[in-house]
A = this chain, B = another copy of it.
Amino acid sequence: MPDLDSPATYAAHDLRGMLAHITGLPEQCERAWLESAGISFPEAFRKVTGVLILGLGGSAIGGDLLRCLIADECPVPVVLHRDYGLPGWVSERTLVLACSYSGNTEETLSAFGAAANAGARLFAMTTGGRLLQRARELGAVCYCYHYEAQPRAALGYSLMTLLRVMDRLGLVRDKSGEVAEAVTVMRSWLTEIGPEVAVTNNAAKALATRLYRRLPVIYGAEHLAEVARRWKGQFNENSKSWAVFDVAPELAHNTIAGYQSPARLAPLAHTVVLTAPSLHPRVQARLQFARELLSSRGFASEAVEGRGQSRLAQALSLVLFGDLVSYYLSLLYGVDPWEIANIDAMKRRMGAA
């Protein structure tokens, strides 16, 4: 197994500087929160009765996190749409937030065009591409940001900008305090789990070694449900590893019934439960019992607790932790965390179709 404490390991595989993007998440969030402060909307945008967020993959996860972070307070439904076309309920009373890092995601462009036809209130956030062009042609509110990275590494921009949009429309309470706390908490945790901290004292490196040659199974709940999805996606894209996620309390109504077979999966699957003190006590109890059931069948599991008081800090600190675990795992597998050969191949294939 490659040595996660040796600079040579990093130099050998992280060829395009993914590490700096991951460890830079606190700064990216801080900057994106400030930069988006000037977003403003026409008055008609304040009368929407629903929000539809368009996006896929690394461009969708900001919306996923937003949705579960503001579920308690947002007075209109927020729904993710990761497909061509549109759900039938989109109308001029719908705010459609199109998120595409490149601006060239074909499903998002399809949905954005349909949203324009439906008369929806349009917002686009992107770094450019056809989405920016179409949005300008359509008179949509545009937010064009500059951050050169893979889409998944621009999560600070996508989440903070969406939070700001909801804030500017009066759909959530002011988030400045939570953003500041999240940044502080992430910076603090980084001093314990960054690359300069040896594996013997580094919880993220240690978890990566336990996930090496295993199937990561990530459980989340409430505001951490979509953090579990983030972990899954980062293992896929950074580590080139299979990964699955599941959400409590739903998983207590089906998933746990299936721990019996196949028994030969037991040495392969390793479950990580994302948790926080603010989770509903009954949800925490269900997750704890799920771990006992896993253990009784010989499956390993562990819990990782988010830090901070606010939901945003708990969620983002666990995003940072998971991003680092997926990064370290990419080094253990000897792959470049940046490249996503299969997704690029898919795009080529679809371009030729």
Point out residues on A near B: beta carbons under 8 Å: 49-50, 56-58, 60, 70-77, 79, 82-85, 87-89, 91, 106-107, 212-215, 221-222, 232-233, 235-237, 239-244, 247, 249-250, 252-262, 264-265, 268-269, 280, 282-283, 285-286, 289-290, 293, 333, 335, 340-343, 345-346, 349-350, 353
Contact = CB atoms under 8 A, between A and B. Distances in A.
Contacts of A85: 72, 280
Contact of A342 (B77, B237, B257, B335): B257
Contacts of A84: 249, 280, 282-283
Contact of A240 (B107, B213, B258): B258
B75 A88 contact: yes
Contacts of A258: 235-237, 239-243
Given A260-B333, A282-B353, A255 B269 contact: no
Contacts of A57: 250, 253-254
Contacts of A235: 258
Contacts of A106: 282
B268 A265 contact: yes
A243 B259 CA distance: 9
Nearest to A211: B262
B60 A73 contact: no
Nearest to A237: B257
Pick the 9 closest A-B CB pairs, nearest first: A57-B253, A236-B258, A240-B260, A233-B254, A213-B262, A236-B254, A241-B261, A244-B244, A56-B253
A221 B84 CA distance: 11
A259 B342 contact: yes
Interface centre among A77, A250, A349 (most CB of B within 10 A): A77
A216 to B, nearest CB: 10
27 contacts: A57-B254, A71-B87, A83-B221, A83-B250, A213-B262, A214-B262, A215-B265, A236-B258, A237-B254, A237-B257, A239-B258, A239-B261, A240-B260, A241-B258, A242-B258, A242-B259, A242-B269, A252-B346, A254-B343, A257-B342, A261-B335, A268-B268, A285-B349, A285-B353, A286-B346, A289-B349, A293-B345
